[in-house]
Chain A
Amino acid sequence: MKTTRFLLGAVIFAGLAIPAQAKLRVVTSLQDFASIAEAIGGDRVETFALAKGYQDPHFVDAKPSFILKLSRADLLIVAGLELEIGYLPPLIDQSRNGRIHPGSPGYLDASIGCNVLQRPTQAVTRAMGDVHPYGNPHYWTDPENGRIVARAIAGRLGELDPEGKAAYEANLSTFEARLTEKEREWQAKMAPFAGTRIVTFHESWPNLARYFKLDIVGTVEPKPGIPPSPSHTLEIINLITAQKVPVILVEPYFDTKTPRYIGNKTGAVVLTFYPSVGGIPEIKDYIGLFDYDVNAFVNAMRGKE
């Protein structure tokens, strides 16, 4: 009896005490969303990203330590479009946390409302490699999609924590203003290279290419998720030579051996290009991601001239 009363008391106390001070715990699949959530949530949230920015976001281990993080989460933000299908569903099931199940207020699919490219217009089969049947999941590489994600996060944080609604809206305005200003800067820097033909390792960059008007003419992978083959490498070498492609973009988690071989044969510059915040320590937040990549691209192109 005493124990019951004590437990009851503890539960009520916990119920009263926590919302007043505790931060909202936001778990995201990608560091990019964690960065945006920090910008919007400020000191009202604490974030944790499951995938590191330097790791292939398709292949994240379903580690039990993530179950602990998810069990305490108030909000889970995912890229959706099946990017997390290899690890997240069993983690959510084992989290014992109904608040973050798909369809609950604590589950936010960041792709909703974003401009998603490469949505298949025909039936897909795995003969096409590891294709995503709902479209290319690397959409956050377009800063305008980052803006849409920030708005969705602000809306959702305001729902989960109505007291902080005004703060979230104010932070969103600040974030958007900064993004708008930065976008002008990035566009100005990239404008001279509009129309540049590029080759990328994986199909991670259609959104970025569209935004900066770059033209992706080929990928080092013959098909998404399939490692380079000798015959395809030869085709890419011919393509780069014929189309005078100046640069090959490689995500940090891929082996640069084949891209470097192609680079040596063709003179194209092999540039490690970071798709996510945290890809290297210098990339500290979402705006810093484009700062870094834009500068890296511009420097690589200048080096060619």
Chain B
Amino acid sequence: MDFVHLLVIPILVGTVATAQEAPVPQPTPAPTPAPAAPAQTSNYFNPSISVIGNFLAVGGTNEIENLPSASLRESELGFQAIVDPYARADFFISFSEEGANVEEGYLTFTSLPWDLLIKVGRMRTAFGKINTLHVHVWPWPDAPLPIVNLLGGEEGWSGDGVLVAKLIPLGDTFSEATLQVFRGESEGLFTAAKRSDLAFNGHYRVFRDLSDSTNLDLGLSYGFGPNGTLPDATTRLSALDATFRWKRLRTGLYRQVVLRGEFFRSSRDQAGGTESATGWFAGADYQFARRWWVGVRGEAAEHADDAAILDTGLAATLTFLPSEFSQLRSELRRRRYAGSYKANEILFQVQFAIGAHGAHPF
């Protein structure tokens, strides 16, 4: 009961506030009845709260990526609210077996002139597409190899700093340029020895509706930062991402296709010269019934510090969503590490969300 009120009240505030302002032309219609939840003004401005659980069970043998047989891999706590007339704040706190961690926590200035949007705080880097997404909205239970090998690990690239994004409309086509400046720290990727060691990322995105049912999303990213191997040694990263979607609006509840692919390149200064490594993944996901999806993924990535080591993989997924708020997914995965060691595994994931209704990922 209290839990429901806690969630309901912050959202109510918006409705009530608008109700007071809205001029009701005469003759006066019946007033909106009082909301069902009792008013507790002290709770009015509490953020909306959500919790997402991500359970992962793994079968098979893999000596390289030795995932536990069963784990509550992540519990993500989200707090989101409007701060003032100029900004909103979003916090995502992730609890895992390693402990608690602020995955993202940022302030977004939403009413700036010149089509600008500014975020300040800790956030995922707008580098490629999958790297910007939280684990629970990925179409797979695991991170694709180029994220693991070239962006410093499953967690990918995120940082503390500032993001500036500007809309650059090309007629009816959406286009947006994003620039991010971070402290040069990201686990497994960048290390800032001194204060002036910063990481930068630029991202350009174009989105176009090809028809009512199809659209294409393209992105180009370039970033760099200090890798800590030698003084002034940097790692330079670039990526290309493409997503094609098909969904007939009338039957969209039952049938959808998403094709996606990303290509990554890393140039890493290290003892002995610069190591250039590449990686990619490509996937197709098909919704074949209201609550069912199937998908396939191919992937390959060299290691950022030794491009002679190439890992490759193939995976197939089957997903069932009992409702919008829970999801069961299995993945059959075959990975070949360094061209020799082979691992066949089955991953089984259960995800569940409680609390405020978040937006559907797109």
Contacts and interface: CB of A to CB of B under 8 A. Distances in A.
Contact of A62 (B14, B18, B37, B360): B360
B8 interface: yes
State which size class the interface on A falls in.
35 or more
5 closest Cβ pairs, A-B complex: A98-B111, A55-B249, A64-B207, A64-B174, A151-B25
A134 to B, nearest CB: 7
Contacts of A126: 323, 325, 354
Contact of B172 (A68, A152, A154, A226): A68
Contacts of B88: 93
B215 A65 contact: yes
B115 A152 contact: no
Interface of B: 1, 4-5, 8, 11-12, 14-15, 17-19, 21-25, 29-33, 35-37, 85, 88, 108, 110-112, 115-117, 167, 169, 172-174, 176, 205, 207-209, 212, 215, 217, 245, 247, 249-254, 290-291, 323-325, 354, 357, 359-360, 362
A65 B290 contact: no
23 contacts: A54-B249, A59-B253, A59-B360, A61-B360, A63-B209, A67-B167, A71-B169, A80-B15, A87-B359, A93-B88, A97-B111, A98-B110, A101-B111, A103-B14, A109-B19, A112-B18, A113-B24, A119-B35, A130-B323, A156-B22, A227-B290, A255-B251, A255-B254
Given A98-B111, A125-B4, 8 more contacts: A64-B217, A82-B11, A94-B110, A109-B22, A113-B32, A115-B30, A134-B36, A253-B249
Given A54-B250, A94-B117, A151 B29 contact: yes
Contacts of A90: 359
A253 B252 contact: yes
A96 B110 contact: yes
A299 interface: no
A252 B249 CA distance: 10
B15 A109 contact: yes
A56 interface: yes
A289 interface: no
A253 B173 CA distance: 27
A17 B167 CA distance: 23
B220 to A, nearest CB: 15
B35 A134 contact: yes
Contacts of B357: 82, 85-86
Interface in A102-137: 102-103, 107-109, 111-116, 119-126, 129-130, 133-134
A103 B111 CA distance: 13
B174 A225 contact: no
Interface of A: 52, 54-56, 59, 61-65, 67-68, 71, 80, 82, 85-87, 89-90, 92-94, 96-98, 101-103, 107-109, 111-116, 119-126, 129-130, 133-134, 148, 151-152, 154-156, 159, 172, 225-227, 252-255
Given A113-B24, A253-B250, A255-B290, A225 B117 contact: no
Secondary structure call for the A interface: loop
Given A64-B176, A103-B14, A155-B25, A71 B360 contact: no
A113 B22 contact: yes
Nearest to B2: A123
B25 A96 contact: no
Nearest to B165: A94
Contact of B31 (A61, A113, A133): A113
Secondary structure call for the B interface: loop
B291 A227 contact: yes
Given A52-B212, A156-B23, A253-B252, A96 B359 contact: no
Contacts of A55: 249-250, 252
Contacts of B22: 108-109, 112-113, 152, 155-156
B252 A56 contact: yes
A102 B252 CA distance: 28
A56 B253 contact: yes
Contact of B117 (A96, A114, A115): A96
Contact of B167 (A71, A82, A103, A227): A71
A151 B24 contact: yes
Contacts of A85: 357, 359
B299 to A, nearest CB: 26
B249 A52 contact: yes
Contacts of B253: 56, 59, 253-255
A123 B1 contact: yes
A103 B174 contact: no
Contacts of A67: 167, 174
Given A52-B249, A112-B22, A253-B250, A62 B115 contact: no
Contacts of B108: 93
Nearest to A90: B359
A109 B4 CA distance: 23
Contacts of B249: 52, 54-55, 253
Contacts of A227: 290-291
Contacts of B250: 54-55, 252-253
A280 B191 CA distance: 58
A96 B112 contact: yes
Given A54-B249, A65-B207, A89 B359 contact: yes
B1 to A, nearest CB: 5
Nearest to A85: B357
Interface centre among A82, A93, A115 (most CB of B within 10 A): A93
A111 B12 CA distance: 13
Nearest to B254: A255
